[in-house]
Chains A and B, each alone.
Chain A
Amino acid sequence: MRYIRPLSIEDASGLLAGSTGTAAILAGGSDLLVRMKGGFVEPDLIVDIKAIEGLSEIRETSEGFSIGAAVPCAVLGESKALKKAWPGVVEAANLIGSKQVQGRCTIVGNLCNASPAADSVPALVAAGAKAVVVGPGGRRTIAVEAVPTGPGKTSLAKGEIIEAILLDKRPPRSGDAYLRFIPRTEMDIAVVSAGVNLTLDEQGVVRVARVAVGAAAPTVLLVDEAAEVLIGSKLDEATLERLAKVCSGACRPIDDKRGTVEFRRKVAGVLAKRAATTAYARAGGK
């Protein structure tokens, strides 16, 4: 096994592109090291991206935020500006694993691990986040929902690395929220989850909405129909009930050790309703 700690993203990409056998990217290692210790993977090459300049930074630009691929989730929680603009994304990132895990894990790692139950992903999808991908073919920017293609699988080609996640600057009267269901209070994986992102007009009417549901299909679902239910409403009781129904209907869950089909369907709707209510309040809606 080779371990390399390159200093540029291009070198990292080149190493991965030129590798034979199994290659893995190491940032926080909260997925990779666990899988190695469990004997599930034995990579021939590990590329540690933490020494690459800029990858451990959150930058605030005129367009919004750029979160480097090696920024630990705990650091997101320490960024006042990010927390103010995207509280739903930050609360999702700060639900992963435990405090200790959050000190290492990254949202890019969470995205590329491609678990349908990843906590930060529904929040990122709802937020309309984008991923900056660097590869042998250069740099491109794609929607985060285009990254995972199924459990453990991504659309990234050999040699491609996500350099950063981009979040837009917030228009006024915007708010987002993320909720997941776990049977315990922490240290668990979402049985089902929902992220909601809203922008209101001056009258408190929802003008822009994005709704994502996690752990209810092979990938995180962006539920356009749910957004349509919310747009034009002030989140009255009937709207929330319709939102729940649409989200439940959009689910394509499975029965497994973490929950049943019926449970996931029902609770996806409940969580969407509750997340929408929180996002609406955060956007200043009454």
Chain B
Amino acid sequence: MNFDPRYLDRNFTSVGTRPIRPDGVDKVTGRARYGADFNMAGQLVGRVLRSPHAHATIRKIDTSKAEKLAGVKAVITAADLPDLTDGDAAMYDILDNCMARNKALYDGHAVAAVAAVDARTARQALKLIEVDYEVLPHVTDVDEAMKHSAPLINEATFTEGLEEKPVKPSNVTKRSQFGHGDVHQGFGHADFIVERSFKTEQTHQGYIEPHACVASVSSDGTADLWVCTQGHFVYRQHCAQLLGMEASKLRVTSSEIGGGFGGKTHVWAEPVALALSRKAGRPVKLVMTRDEVFRASGPTSATSIDIRIGARKDGTITAAEATLRYSSGPYAGTWAEIGAMTAFACYRLDNVKTVGYEVLVNRPKTAAYRAPSAPMAAFAVESAIDELAKEIGMDAVEFRIRNAAQEGTRSSYGPVYGPIGIGPTLEAVKNHPHMKAPLGKNQGRGMACGFWFNFGGQTCTDLNIGMDGSVSLAVGTVDVGGSRASLSLVAAEELGIAYEQVKAVVADTSSLGYNDMTDGSRGTFSSSMATISAARNAIKVLRERAAQMWDIPVDDVVWEKGHAIAKGEKHGNLGRLSLKEIATASGKTGGPIAGHSELVADGAGVSFATHICDIEVDPETGATRVLRYTVVQDAGKAVHPTYVEGQYQGGAAQGIGWALNEEYIYGKDGRLQNPGFLDYRIPVCSDLPMIDTQILEIPNPNHPYGVRGVGETSIVPPLAAIANAVSNAVGVRMTHIPMSPPRILAALEAEQAG
């Protein structure tokens, strides 16, 4: 089916309104089923034994005592998850991360698992498993790991991307480079140059719902998996591959999701639960504790970044350069590469060069976290931009406006931009009353910009029209941010019916074709495109049925406002046929009416945001308080503005936590010191002001309604906006995130000491 995704200006009826979400009542009354809410008869409790060491060779695992304990139905180790990855290095890493094979590579790495009749027996069984470790030297800091003297995490790692293949292994898996022009020449034309180094600590997405699943493997080799995930089709593929199953034999159903933010794009517990169920012959429920989530799921990278930016007196940037080192845990990643791509994406630069280094450390395998890698790069770049504006004597917003990318600009990572929102967000910020509000003592204001690519991807959707005229919409992208409401609005818009007539569900992997995960801010972007396509296909069928009912040619039937209308004078005596009337008659006109769509949603429009933040610093304690916060971001078209605003606020809230207090703290022994919400300090409600939002709508030319993804960009500017605000409040440039009170106080005292 041909589908034209190009944007067409139109007046909307449903899109842009703010109805309540279809999943809302169940969520606030407790009826909604999350990962741990699925249960099956005869279900066992799964528990995972984890390495207490940051780096150790596993000499031997003796499970015999645990197996003999009454109530234990299965004990597994890596031997029960044999390597079926057939040379696929990325899949092998996933397998090794799910269950350590030869070495434990971080504190919390799974080494064995049990399934038992109850939690107490399972816990006891874990204590009976004897693991003989040879503890190895470890390294958890990204800069330390790059040194020649650092312990090697994987002796087969030879840095890729160098001109000559290195002769010695190292912890750097890859070097990547982006840019154009000649930075050396560019710096030669600069009147002012700012050069600084920055560090950011590792943070976790901090979703409230821990990873949870129930796996049930039948003796005939088929299996079911109920799981909290951002992408059940991807989980199915990964689990099937790791367990040696055909994908169609494994049905995966996604639960409601208590937050993912990129952290539920990766399998950890699911292959383990399936392997336990296969061995025990009974369903197994596996729920991670919060401690396990912190120690052994996928936080973001810790980073170390050097920035150099030069500009002429008139405020034109002449050259920009960045070296970015990102930790990826003990397995290869592409996190620094993404950071290197995004670093200068907001600006129009003649000479730009960014270099990324992927660094192995003895920490959990890095996973995506909301616009992964971009916030750290933006922190470094936007801090240096602010400093450069000060040196030139230009207003920080004016300096950015002068150098902002626009339509036709060649981006620092390669592509040429179409219509984009960086300029408009900066103009909106410049004119925002927040920028003119007075500040008190010890208070400072900062602003910063952010960019994210956005993603489209493979999408498959079904739209079924019931005999009563109600519409069920089955989508394959997990609803992480209100997409069922947004997609219902889109279906209602296309069909010309009321929002309340549409019920959207997330279908399981056996009910729809493959869908990529809900990542890259693609949920509403791609599934709305697929929904529009499916609705248009359904409308075609509806027109055919109406034509049949009227006994006229289908070309004489048009669809308007939820009705078939016969056009032309010769049909003047025919009334309208409503969707319901056509649906009710469908049994006699050819059977059920449905619209299907499968597509690759190309052309996800890039996204830009600019944030403003006011902060107060207590100079005696280093304590900070966010007084006011404003987000301005381009949505392309806000399908459900309330949830767009929610995404803006949520990203800002997470960014505020990251900027001020959240961090993984490792002891000298390489063990995580704060694997819980008491000492891993995400903001509580009273820590945050009401976060104001302003939605800009610069249509994406590659979507029928102009929609752009909105979920991720909002976390990109906060680290920098807050750092700039703190710097303006106390007159000291903060270069280490989080800016916790001890770090701020130490910086203030160092400044006073000169």
A-to-B contact residues, CB < 8 Å: 38-39, 181, 183-189, 191, 256-260, 262-263, 266-267, 270
Contact = CB atoms under 8 A, between A and B. Distances in A.
B682 to A, nearest CB: 9
5 contacts: A184-B687, A185-B684, A259-B742, A263-B745, A266-B749
B661 interface: yes
A257 B742 contact: no
Given A181-B621, A185-B686, A185-B687, A260 B681 contact: no
Nearest to A263: B742
Contacts of A266: 620-621, 745, 749
A263 B741 contact: yes
Contacts of A187: 678, 684
A257 B684 contact: no
A75 B389 CA distance: 55
**Residue picked from B123, B673, B678, B686, most chain A C-beta under 10 Å:** B678
B686 A181 contact: no
B742 A184 contact: no
Interface string B567-580: 00000000000000
B746 A262 contact: yes
Interface in B324-352: none
A33 to B, nearest CB: 15
Given A39-B123, A181-B621, A267-B620, 16 more contacts: A183-B660, A183-B741, A184-B686, A185-B686, A187-B678, A188-B681, A189-B678, A257-B679, A258-B679, A259-B742, A262-B742, A262-B746, A262-B749, A263-B746, A267-B621, A270-B620
Nearest to B740: A183
Contacts of A263: 622, 741-742, 745-746
Nearest 5 CB-CB pairings of A with B: A263-B742, A185-B686, A257-B673, A270-B620, A257-B665
B746 A183 contact: no
B58 interface: no
A260 B742 contact: yes
A270 B748 CA distance: 15
Contacts of B740: 183
Given A184-B661, A184-B684, A270 B678 contact: no
Contacts of A184: 661, 681, 683-684, 686-687
A121 B6 CA distance: 67
A60 B245 CA distance: 72
Given A259-B742, A260-B742, A183 B681 contact: yes
A189 B687 CA distance: 15
A188 B123 contact: no
B616 to A, nearest CB: 13
A257 B742 CA distance: 11
Contacts of A191: 741
Nearest to A274: B620
Nearest to B666: A257
A181 B187 CA distance: 46
A222 B619 CA distance: 27
A42 B475 CA distance: 46
Interface string B651-680: 000000000110001000000011000110
A264 B220 CA distance: 62
A257 B623 CA distance: 16
A263 B744 CA distance: 10
A49 B445 CA distance: 53
Contacts of A262: 742, 745-746, 749
Contact of B741 (A181, A185, A256): A181
Contact of A181 (B623, B674, B681): B623
Contacts of A256: 673
Contacts of B687: 184-185
Contacts of B661: 183-184
Contact of B678 (A39, A185, A188): A188
B489 to A, nearest CB: 37
A38 B665 CA distance: 20
Nearest to B677: A187
Contacts of B673: 256-257
A103 to B, nearest CB: 17
B686 A257 contact: no
Contacts of A270: 620-621
A190 to B, nearest CB: 12
A38 B681 CA distance: 19
A30 B79 CA distance: 42
Interface in B606-662: 620-623, 660-661
Contacts of B684: 184-187
A257 B674 contact: yes
A195 B69 CA distance: 52
B657 to A, nearest CB: 9
A188 B677 CA distance: 9
A181 B623 CA distance: 9
Interface string B218-255: 00000000000000000000000000000000000000
A266 B619 CA distance: 12
A159 B173 CA distance: 60
A185 B123 CA distance: 36
Nearest to B665: A257
Interface string B285-302: 000000100000000000
In this complex, the member of B623, B665, B746 whose beta carbon has the largest number of chain A beta carbons within 10 angstroms is B623
A270 B745 CA distance: 12
A185 to B, nearest CB: 4
A265 to B, nearest CB: 11
Nearest to B119: A39
Nearest to A244: B620
A188 B740 CA distance: 14
A256 B668 CA distance: 11
B624 to A, nearest CB: 8
Interface string B470-486: 00000000000000000
A267 B745 CA distance: 10
A258 B728 CA distance: 26
Contacts of A185: 684, 686-687
A183 B686 CA distance: 12
Interface in B705-754: 740-742, 745-746, 749
A268 to B, nearest CB: 11
Contacts of B621: 181, 266-267, 270
Contacts of A259: 741-742
A38 B123 CA distance: 11
Of A181, A263, A266, A270, most B-chain CB atoms within 10 Å: A263
A205 B466 CA distance: 84
Contacts of B679: 189, 257-258
A255 to B, nearest CB: 9
Nearest to A97: B678
Contacts of A257: 665, 673-674, 679
Q: Which of A186, A187, A257, A266 has the most CB of B within 10 A?
A: A257
A151 to B, nearest CB: 15
B678 to A, nearest CB: 7
A96 to B, nearest CB: 13
Nearest to B684: A187
A38 B676 CA distance: 11
A117 to B, nearest CB: 11
Nearest to A191: B741
A181 to B, nearest CB: 6
A260 B665 CA distance: 13
A38 to B, nearest CB: 8
Contacts of B291: 38
A157 B661 CA distance: 40
Interface in B266-294: 291
Contacts of A181: 621, 623, 741
